[in-house]
Chains A and B, each alone.
Chain A
């Protein structure tokens, strides 16, 4: 009789123990999840790799460095934070079916301009790190383009054009309506 009673309560105890473990784990996961952004110290990451890292472009404030890297079996534009010694994410910038070259940054690195191949045609594109959107600046432009460079406030983009049968310089004005990339408080 005592044996059967024990046999009946053991599954209940086991179940309670498992439930307890699950709740415990759940709390632990929740705790970890909420702490991750602030409490986990990130180790410094190297800027260079054992593959080609080239075409460096400093942000105006000197904090960020955009460059082109051949690491990880892909040619991509990367953004390195010299202050935190970490890479900053550039969601949706690098595409699997295209190559981007010659990056340039605005003051805080909000705007990034570069040349990308779009259906076999070089285009100057602008990536906004806040909206994570890309804009083609030379859509419909007749002529070869290369080496774009953006002003610190993000309004002007200079680039080389082959339109007159040799390399010359053109200036794009993004207009007074854009959000300027300026130092804090100015």
Chain B
């Protein structure tokens, strides 16, 4: 199997959400001595294709999750190899993500986290029902490039505004880009809350994070 063929197969495995298959292909690529950065680029390309398919309604959420898992598995193997070769792992950015206080909805936020990880972002998921001050504290401590917040119900949507204000008060607002999302959220609400971006779904959220950080 040459490099092109391996990347092709890996891309198919990611698109089909074959979790074990994609890790084992990544391992084969490493064993064969292919440049892990190039193979990693293949994984990123496949994920982009997955995103397009989801965007045009050609894929279901469950499948998207498996695709993200498949990509994550391969990315972990390849990143490990890049580190072993003492080369720089491409740094995309660090994202802190969580669901706001009073809201226990996990799925959307976790999916965004999974997709970001699969793309190669460093993701710190601080869970659900996160108090305002915990967001602020973690932003100060971990210095993420992006803070992602999720809220599913109308009663918790107001929390975005509170967290943004708390960040301002702590003098951290300019240190971090803020992106929000959730079933009831729209662009207008995101702007009112003082966020920098709004993700209409998980794939859109990843695209918005990329554009916030000027990543092509």
A is bound by B: no
